[in-house]
Structure formats: C-alpha cells, structure tokens
Structure 1
Amino acid sequence: MISLMEITEEYLGSLKFIKEIPREVELPKGRDIKAIIGPRRVGKTFLLLKKAESLKNNQNVLYLPFDEPELKRLTARELAEKIRGEFPEGKVILFLDEIQEWENWDVKLRWLHDVGDFDIYVSGSSSTLMSSEIPSRLRGRHISRLILPLSFREIAGETGKTFRERGKLQAILKDYIKWGGFPEVWITKSREKIISILETMFYRDMIERFSFRDIKEFQEAFYHILSLYGGYFTYRSLQRALKGLGVDANLKTIMNYLRAMEESFLIFQLPIFSPSTRERMVKPRKLYLVDTAFTSLFFKGHAEGRKLENLVFIELLREKSYWNPSLEVSYYSDGKNEVDFVVREGPLINELIQVTYKLNATNYGREVRGLIKTAKKLGVKKLTVVTLEDETTITEGSLTVEVLPLWKFLLRGHQS
C-alpha cells in the first residue's frame, strides 16, 4: 500500500485541473467531528480538498477517500497506527471522504475521535450521511454543516454599482434562474447534467436507501411532488392528487416518499408561523426544491414567481446553514393575509418577506397591504418585497416597505 501522504498528495494535485468558483461557506470548527452534509454534486469533496491544501504546509494533514480499496479494509486502530507511522508527533487533521464505504464507519469514527490524536472532518454520499442519522450514529460527537449549491453571490460577485455591472448581473441572473447552482451544471450549462444528478438522487439516495419496492409508483409520486414547489400541501391533499394520477398509495407510504426526498436534500418543507405546535403540524406546508435547475427542467409552464420564491427560500436557508443557525423561517397565513417568509431568531421576528414576479395595480393590495397588515399585527418593522426587477420604497405611516429586485436581494449578504 502506498503511503497515506502519497494518497493525499495525489488528490490535492487534482485541484489544479478543477475550474474553481470560490465558495463563501466555511467549514465548521471545534473539537468534535465535523460532518459535511448536503445533496450530491454540490462540491463537498472540493471543499475538503481546499481546506486540506490550505493547512498542509503548517500542520499534519491527510485527505483519505474511502473508495480506495486498501483504505476501506483497515480497522480504526490499523489506520491510527499507519497515521502515527507517518506523523509520529502532534495532532493530525484528517479529511475522510466517501466515509460510507468504511464498514461500521460510525463506530470507527467515534474511536478515532475519543483517542484524542485527531481533528476529523468527514463527508460522503448523501444516501448515508443523512442529517437524521448523524446525531444517533455519532452520539454527540459531531458538528454538521449543510452545503448548498452555489449562491448567486458566489457566481456573480458583489458588484452592481454601475449600469454596465447591473446589465451583466441581469444576464447572469437569467442563467442562474434557469441553470441553478450545482457547480458542474453551471459550468457546462448542460441539461444532461441536471438529469444525471436527479436520476442519481432518485436511484441511489432514495430507491437503494429506502428499499422502495414499487419503483413506478414512487416515480409518479416523485415527479408530482417536485411540481409542487412554492405551493401548499398536506399529506391528504397529496394523497388525493396522486390518486387522480393513478397512484393509490396510503398516507404512511406518501410520508415515506416525502421523507426520502427530504433526507436526500432534494426538497424542504416550510411550516406555518404559529406558537401552537399542533397548528404547525396540521396546517398545510409549503414545499421548495434545493435548486431551480430542476424547476426549469420539468415544469416550464409554471409561474416565474414561484421560481423567484424558491430562490429566496434557498438564500434564507443558506443564511441559516452557513452563518446563523438560530435563524428560523416559516410562512404566515391568517385566512385573510399571507406572507411568504417570516424570518426570526427565537421569539424575535427580524423580517417579513413577500415575493412576487412584478408589482402592479392588480396585486398591490395583496402583496403590499397584506404585508403591512401582518407587520402591524406581529409588531415587525423590517418589510421586504422581492420582485424580478422593481425597486422602490413604500411608506405607510410608521412602516416602510423596501421593494428589491431579485439580484439585489441575492447580493445583500448574510444578515448580522
């Protein structure tokens, strides 16, 4: 077997062949195991390699991919002995990729963590490193970080000061809405890449992991669920809709289908804003996709406003995942007024956000006046309406509504 350092150098050397789009996300810090989770093909391996490269000149660093046959056969103790053979002294920082290939990886990681010699980062297939599994498998020894597709800021940079820059940003935004932020898709602008990512999620992260026997039934449900992005649903409404499509599945099966898609980081469910736990459970939820590339691929007839809303949701999720874990997002509805996003930290509501494709005389009352009525009811000062291109300020009494074009909202950066 070649040395662990040789394996590391080979993989670090591959970075020079990758077209890099710098990421704004930082890997977590701390003494516990750092688990890098997220959907397939968002660049988790690239982030591990870049972090390893940045540290290797000053610290003991190893990047080890467990799809290497010789590595996956080692026990935790054998691996530790080999590491100490190459680094006899000092803490060693381990970047362990494709960790699902290491049999009983959770037991082995706990042992490596507990001996105290190693600072550990792990990543791997989303079909194994599911967010729901990590807490039970690593038993309080982990910090996880959800990695999402590229943000508009990462692709476009923080520009837009001149008319030339703003014109360029509009062109990039049009492509971003269509192609989304998966790095390979963005670079190649390839429909086949989108199909490949979705099919891999379907078969490897859902069919294989959850052992669904009726693949055709799940496939019908899968595509219908994707079509609901930006819309409301309940388990029973979904059951009725699927029955109309010829899918006669019971509620438990439908809930399992949704769980498989959510744990693969393909979809996210947004609850209603309410102090009542029961109401949050029984009221309809809204559904969003991890990337707008999927909306462009399958549902061309859908309203563009729903794609904008999906982008705003993912940006809020990015804020929570990368910088502000205490952030919570929900939607508001009291039967008369609706607000797309209630953004809060604990009991404190930071902002109300409404998303619409364009403000006009027809929807002004619903989008702006409904937002202001809700703000007065909840005692919120920061009000934002996101549209494709409109930009203005609306004042009513003591309240001000900032109307932002989507590109400016996506470039505004995380909220401190």
Structure 2
Amino acid sequence: MINRPLYLDRIRPFIGKPIIKVVTGVRRSGKSTLLRLVQAELKNKGVSDDLMLDINLEAYSNREFKNPDALHAYIAEWIGETGGSEELHYLFLDEIQEVEAWEKLIPGLQVEFNIDVYLTGSNAHFLSSEFATYLSGRYVEFEVFPFSFSEFMRLRAEDGCVQTPDEAFDVYRVLGGFPFLAYLDYEQDPCREYLLSIYDTVVLKDMIERESIKDSALLGELLPFLIANIGHTFSGRSVERMLEGENISISIGSVLKYIQVACDANLLYRAPRVDVMSKKVFKNQEKYYLADHGIREAVYGNNDRNIDQVLENIVFVELIRYGWKVSVGDKPIEPSKNGSASKEIDFVATKGSRKLFIQVCYLLAEESTIAREFAPLEDLRSDFPKYVLSMDKVDRSQNGIIHKDIRTFLFEADELLK
C-alpha cells in the first residue's frame, strides 16, 4: 500500500474534527486505499481497532446496509459495545451513494454520536447538489486521482523495477496511473482490458444507471468521440456537426447533458476558456480532459500517435491534483516578427494569489514550433511564471520564459505546485 502524502497532508488537519470528510474521484483511483492510510495513521497514534468501523457498501456481504435504518442500527450497536459516546469513534463508509437516503442519515450521525465520519463516493454529482444541500458547511471534500508520474516512479521502485525516468515515462504516458495496473506488471494487453472495464463501469453505474439515461447507445457514440479529442476545443454545436458527419444524429441539448454527466462521474474535466486580459469567461470553445489518460488508450488507442494531446492531459491533471483551477487562455495578440499570430495559452492556472501560464508540446524540433509555443507567452505582460513544457532535453528558456522537460516538471511538482 503506497503512501500518498499529497492527500494525507490535506486530510490530516481535519482528523478528529467534527466535520465530515468526503473522498471523491473516478472509480479505482485509490479512494478506499486512502481511507486505509488514514486508519493506519490513527493506529500509529494509539487508536484501537475497536474504535474504527470500515464498511464497503458495494460489497455483497454488506447489502443490508443499503437500508439506512439497518446501517444506523449497526452503527449504534457498535458504538454502544465499544465505549459508548465517551470515546471518539471513527466511521469509514465506502461508496456512500449506495445507501438509500444517505443524505438524511449522515448529518445526524455526528449529532447523535461522538463520531468522526469519512465517506467515499464515485461521482461528484451528489456533492454538487444533494450533499451541498444537506451538509452545507459541514463537510470538506478531497478529490483523489490515479497515480501521478512521481507516484508511479515510486511504486515501480518499491516493486524492485529499475527504470530510468525516460523508460518509466514511456509506460506511464500510454497506460496512465491507475493503481491496479501494478498487479498486471504493466503488460499492455491486460492493462488495456482492465482500463476498459473501469470505463465500462463508470459509464454503466455512474452515468447510465444513476442519471437514468435511456439512449445509452447514443452516449456510447459520443463518449469515445470526446475521449479521442481531449485537449481540442468544443462547443455543443461543433460536436453536433462533427457527429453528423459520422451519420450520428444528436441534439445540442443532449450533447451538453451527456458531457455534464461525464464530468459529474469524474471521468471528464472541463477547462473553460478565459480572456487573460479581461478575465471574461467564454461560454463555448471549452476543452475537456480525462481523469487519467490511460482510459484514452483503452477506449480509443493511439496515445503515442497523439502524444501532444496526451501530454496536455497529463499536465492538466497534475495541476488540478495539486488544487489549481485551470483555464484555457485566450489573448488577442499582434502577429510577431516571426509571423506567428497564435493567441491561445494552453493553461492559465490559479491557486489563491498564485498564477502560472503554461504551454505544452511534444518537441521543440523546429524554429517554427519554438515560435508558436513561446510567442503567446512573450507577448503576455505578466510577472507570474511562464512555462513551456516539452520532452526536449535541451533547455530552451528565453526572454523570462522557463522551458522544462515535462518529466522534470512532474518530478518537481511538489516544489512547483504545492
């Protein structure tokens, strides 16, 4: 069980405090393992096993607890048998959305008992609506993602696999960071099958079943299209037109609804387009990225042939993993001397009073590529850090713009992004 200090450091200040801790994220990203890590930390502090109750609500053996009355009775009995309300108890409930009317049960637990509650859920929909309504001001959310590249490297080292960063990144950029892949020794065919099973489960349980989607065939056509085109600008109308070209009929309303459902399931993430000068948010031409780029390899393939898109996805997820809000930068500029009139900045990331401007590309192999990637940042009047990230080994930093090998940037994320 690999330690994940990025998430533990965030949770630690809230341990033992009367606020509900909610861990969200795409399926199989390590939410349950994070709860085990919290339990291990409690044990190290002297908390006995009797004072901790861990229930996986998706397990068949726990099916009776999908009834909130049965779950409440079991919790009350456990507390009564292990010190009563004098002792602080720790409750861990995996996949809380499986419990009927859970949103009415959970708020009362901390009122009725001396209890510290930790929940996991596979999609963010219940947080954005139901949870916010019933637990306003009484919960804190921690979103978990599959392994970052640095976590991936640490796991490989702990498993005794000796690889250079370049060799490890060759694997990571194709298959991604879902923790279970380590058990498959990163063999490509079994890993693709496993990743496809995650995708199928998310679509079936977190999208079709939860949202009562009737036209699952249409959703099945749209999602692979979106996944193939991560990092490309979208509007509802543009998606409608492109699908029409494939003889697939879908309304703009359905496109927007299904995209939102995919975002609620923590499968896709939206990067809005923002004017970097006026801070105006545009209502179309957004970009979307995947929770983990390995899903793209399983569903669509071609990660290495579409490496620019994959690298963008990796950087985007790394930024939001560290709590940055990420937008696509839109800034009208005058054509530069070299003829480039590009105005898009791949990522404008903000975190409190901090801001980063980032361009991502595969290789800076030609002068025209260097001009295209650097020009939007050179014309940007800002004292905040500006980065161009690529897989080049040669440092091409210039005019106050920092160029980094993307692998180095990912390794230094704790220093640069925390």
Which category of TM-score, normalised to the shorter sequence, fits these structures? 0.7 to 0.9
2:103–2:130: 8 Å Cα contact kept in structure 1?
no
Q: What residue number does 1:43 align with?
A: 30
1:130–1:264: 8 Å Cα contact kept in structure 2?
no
Q: Tell me how far 1:382 sits from its aligned partner.
A: 1.3
Corresponding residue pairs, total: 379
Q: 1:101/1:252 Cα in 2 relative to 1: closer, same or farther (>3 Å)?
A: same
The one-letter code of the counterpart of 1:319 is: Y
Q: Aligned match of 1:32 in 19, 31, 34?
A: 19
Q: Aligned match of 2:386 in 380, 383, 386?
A: 383
Q: Does 1:199 align with 2:205?
A: no
Q: Does 1:95 align with 2:92?
A: yes
For residues 277 and 213 of structure 1, what CA distance do their matches in structure 2 show?
42
Q: Aligned match of 1:179 in 168, 175, 187?
A: 175
Q: 1:22/1:78 Cα in 2 relative to 1: closer, same or farther (>3 Å)?
A: closer
Deviates more, 1:78-87 or 1:286-295: 78-87
Q: Tell me how far 1:138 sits from its aligned partner.
A: 2.5
1:328–1:344: 8 Å Cα contact kept in structure 2?
yes
The one-letter code of the counterpart of 1:300 is: N
With structure 1 as the length reference, what TM-score do the two structures score? Answer: 0.84
Q: What residue number does 1:22 align with?
A: 3
The one-letter code of the counterpart of 1:86 is: T
The C-alpha deviation readout for 1:112-143, integer Å capped at 9, x for no partner, is: 02235111101134387554442124233211
* Partner SS, residue 397 of structure 2: strand
The one-letter code of the counterpart of 1:312 is: V
Q: What residue number does 1:330 align with?
A: 327
Q: 1:46/1:184 Cα in 2 relative to 1: closer, same or farther (>3 Å)?
A: same
* Partner SS, residue 81 of structure 2: helix
Q: Tell me how far 1:77 sits from its aligned partner.
A: 5.3
Q: 1:83/1:256 Cα in 2 relative to 1: closer, same or farther (>3 Å)?
A: same
Q: Tell me how far 1:249 sits from its aligned partner.
A: 1.7
Percent of aligned pairs with the same amino acid: 27
* Partner SS, residue 362 of structure 1: helix
Q: What residue number does 1:11 align with?
A: none
The one-letter code of the counterpart of 1:258 is: I
The C-alpha deviation readout for 1:135-167, integer Å capped at 9, x for no partner, is: 12423321111100011111214999xxxx9x7
Q: Does 1:139 align with 2:136?
A: yes
Q: What residue number does 2:397 align with?
A: 394
Q: Kindly report structure 1 stretches of 4+ aligned residues shifted beyond 4 Å.
A: 127-132, 275-279
Unaligned ranges ≥5, structure 1? 1-19, 321-326
Deviates more, 1:66-75 or 1:31-40: 66-75
The one-letter code of the counterpart of 1:309 is: E
Mapping 1:118-129, distance limit 5 Å: 118-126=115-123, 129=126
Q: Does 1:354 align with 2:359?
A: yes
Q: 1:103/1:295 Cα in 2 relative to 1: closer, same or farther (>3 Å)?
A: closer
Mapping 1:16-415, distance limit 5 Å: 20-24=1-5, 25-26=7-8, 28=11, 29=14, 30-56=17-43, 58-59=46-47, 60-66=51-57, 67=59, 68-73=62-67, 74-76=70-72, 79-88=75-84, 89-115=86-112, 117-126=114-123, 129-157=126-154, 168-188=164-184, 189=186, 190-274=191-275, 279-297=280-298, 298-300=300-302, 302-320=305-323, 327-335=324-332, 336=341, 337-346=343-352, 348=353, 350-359=355-364, 360-374=366-380, 376=381, 379-396=382-399, 400-414=400-414, 415=417
The one-letter code of the counterpart of 1:230 is: G
* RMSD over equivalenced CA pairs, Å: 2.6
For residues 158 and 373 of structure 1, what CA distance do their matches in structure 2 show?
41
